[in-house]
Structure 1
Amino acid sequence: MTREVTVRAPGKLNLQLSVGPRRDDGYHPLATVFQAVDLYETVTATPRADDRFTLEMTMLPTVKAAPGAVPLDETNLAMRAARAVAARYGITDGVDLRVVKGVPVAGGMAGGSADAAATLLACAEAWNVGATRDELDELAAGLGSDVPFALHGHTAVGLGRGDELSPAMTHGEFHWVFATQGHGLSTPAVYAEFDRQVEAGERTAKDPHLSNAIMSALMAGDAHALGASLQNDLQGPALALAPHLKRTLDLAHEAEALGAMVSGSGPTVAALGRSRQHALAIAAHLSAVGESDAVFTVSGPAPGAVVLN
């Protein structure tokens, strides 16, 4: 039995992103703390009677992307996710995928990974393959380091390549402001700049460890302590490639954000407010200056991939 299924999966930010030296296999060991936020990608999977795979994409008004910024061919993570489910369970039918993007493109918020997570669950349900969550986790890990977290959501610790997940104890809700740019930063380019800085002696790269300060702040639900302990080893490389982002960080501090940082590999800047109202005030300050293409508020933690119909 097959059916049309719609699944929603969240974007994220990294409260901590500690990056170790590049390994021989090209990957960097990570210690990261993910938090899912209530900004979502939505994927609808409709099985076909033939073996074709198609992808259609719609962007919400908050998502500004250059033409062609998101591929619609087999390189798209959603297409790869659908193919992975079909290969794993011996499905010979095709599928039509409709993606509604609500997470900024190439903004360091894992919108593509959320697409992949939502597609895994949507295709598994649409084709009625009886997949377990462990099986979906295994497929997710094969697609990218952020995909397993998008399946689970909430707040989690990620080790290894970021895909070795364990839940993080969190109390309360945190209110964020995201300032996005129309032109994204390439994650491989930011990591390459990180490696260049290490090789040039401009920074050191040590084996990463989780921040006790961040974990304690989350457990206590203490936004002030969390803001003071935000950490991102890729912020320096991102600023080297996009120095204008420093102005946005400065504006967030002017608005008395509890903490501000480049999210993931950038170029989105995330600022933490004391409350929902304070987050709105920070967003108004950033919008008035006009340094960013879009400014909006979100809250976290948010749930992971969930079937909507």
Structure 2
Amino acid sequence: MSRTITARAPGKINCYFKVGPPREDGYHSVASLYLAVSLYEDVSATGRDDEEIHVSLHPDSTAVSDPDSFPLGPDNLVVKAAMMLREHTGHYAGVDLCITKRVPIAGGMGGGSADAAATLVACNALWGTGLNREELSLLGGRLGADVPFALHGGAAVGLGVGDMLAPLLLRERTDWVLVPASYGLSTPRVYGMLDRLRATEDVSTPTEVDPDMIGALMDADLDALSGLLVNDMTRAALALAPELGVVRDLGEAAGALHALVSGSGPTLALLARDPAHGEEIMNQLSDEAGVATTAVHGPVPGASILPTTEPTL
């Protein structure tokens, strides 16, 4: 009988995102405040008798409009995560990986990173490789700067390329309404546009997140928070997808305290006062503009194993 382990990891929004100039290695130094939110990716890992790694997409994947076009080959981060764990531990077992995608694809919410984090946790448990959370984070950081945060969850300040994490202890939750787009934006493309837009500007390397921003989020001081949310990537995302500006204005007209582009976009995160206020925003956007929305809250925990499923023959 084959054993199945399912792990779940959250998507994220960047409540604060300052971006420095391009570095010699092609990356950008950032100062980010990550918030893990209650929109999750699941990865189920089932043992195989051979050493093959096979990936499939669960039919409940709400973020995938065209399953036939979804890449399941060696470039998928779940494959890379499983292979990296095998190479690091020398445990060359096979695995079937089934992804349930709910986080918008190329939406600025770290869905691919959540997939990688869930894969590392699921395979680590399935294969009994015994790595702790910090060891998994070091591996995950080689796959992408957002993977360590997806493993830890909660809230954190991210410096460097976003991989130098300092966890924050939040006293209260915040509520958000997500407005996913029907298209994605490539992160490298958005960074490239930002560089072009700032070509003649004097851009400094960010070294910290605004302490007032941290305090407002820790205390869930929504009035202060609404005036401190910032994302340097917004101008680039709007240049590539001008319709984002229309949706942002609709969100604020519907009563959102602030409409924020999440990460590199194009997902928008609308700050609400509480769940009831979020519901009002959602209803107004749906009734008056036909805009699809999702209610989430944060912080939530990082990648974890779901209750054990029954073994399959």
- Establish whether TM, by shorter chain, passes 0.5: yes
Q: For 2:160, give the aligned amino acid.
A: G
Q: Does 1:304 pair with 2:297?
A: no
Contact residue 65 and residue 183 of structure 1 kept, 8 A: no
Q: Please name the residue that 1:81 is paired with.
A: 81
Q: For 2:222, give the aligned amino acid.
A: A
Contact residue 66 and residue 182 of structure 1 kept, 8 A: no
Q: Please name the residue that 1:205 is paired with.
A: 203
Contact residue 65 and residue 105 of structure 1 kept, 8 A: no
Give SS of 1:38's match: strand
TM-score, with length taken from structure 1: 0.95
Q: For 2:265, give the aligned amino acid.
A: G
Q: Please name the residue that 1:132 is paired with.
A: 132
Q: Please name the residue that 1:249 is paired with.
A: 248
Q: Does 1:31 pair with 2:66?
A: no
Which consecutive residues of structure 2, in runs of 5 or more, have no partner in the other structure?
A: 309-313
Structure 1 pair 59–213 and aligned structure 2 pair: CA distance change class (3 A): farther
Q: Please name the residue that 2:149 is paired with.
A: 149
Distance 1:303 1:164 in 2: 18
Structure 1 pair 69–172 and aligned structure 2 pair: CA distance change class (3 A): farther
More displaced stretch, 102-111 vs 28-37: 102-111
Q: Please name the residue that 1:283 is paired with.
A: 282
Contact residue 18 and residue 32 of structure 1 kept, 8 A: yes
Distance 2:240 2:59 in 1: 26
Give SS of 1:226's match: helix
More displaced stretch, 220-229 vs 267-276: 220-229
Residue 145 of structure 1 deviates from its aligned partner by 0.6
Structure 1 runs (4+) deviating above 6 angstroms are: none
Give SS of 1:277's match: helix
Residue 51 of structure 1 deviates from its aligned partner by 1.1
Q: What per-residue deviation string (whole Å, max 9, x for no partner) do you get for residues 75-130 of structure 1? A: 00011000011111112221100111111111111111000000001001100011
Q: Please name the residue that 2:117 is paired with.
A: 117
Distance 1:61 1:92 in 2: 29
Distance 2:11 2:276 in 1: 22
Q: Please name the residue that 1:223 is paired with.
A: 222
Contact residue 156 and residue 166 of structure 2 kept, 8 A: yes
Structure 1 pair 291–265 and aligned structure 2 pair: CA distance change class (3 A): farther
Q: What per-residue deviation string (whole Å, max 9, x for no partner) do you get for residues 208-260 of structure 1? A: 13112211102222122112110100000000000000011101111221111
Residue 60 of structure 1 deviates from its aligned partner by 3.8
Contact residue 64 and residue 101 of structure 2 kept, 8 A: no
Distance 1:120 1:153 in 2: 14
Distance 2:233 2:57 in 1: 29
Distance 2:242 2:202 in 1: 21
Contact residue 169 and residue 218 of structure 1 kept, 8 A: no
Residue 283 of structure 1 deviates from its aligned partner by 1.3
Distance 1:59 1:210 in 2: 40
Which consecutive residues of structure 1, in runs of 5 or more, have no partner in the other structure?
A: none
Structure 1 pair 251–112 and aligned structure 2 pair: CA distance change class (3 A): same
Q: What per-residue deviation string (whole Å, max 9, x for no partner) do you get for residues 166-194 of structure 1? A: 11131111110001111111111100001
Q: Please name the residue that 1:103 is paired with.
A: 103
Contact residue 19 and residue 31 of structure 2 kept, 8 A: yes
Residue 154 of structure 1 deviates from its aligned partner by 0.6
TM-score, with length taken from structure 2: 0.94
Contact residue 38 and residue 300 of structure 2 kept, 8 A: yes
Give SS of 1:20's match: strand
**CA RMSD, 1 decimal:** 1.7
Residue 64 of structure 1 deviates from its aligned partner by 4.5
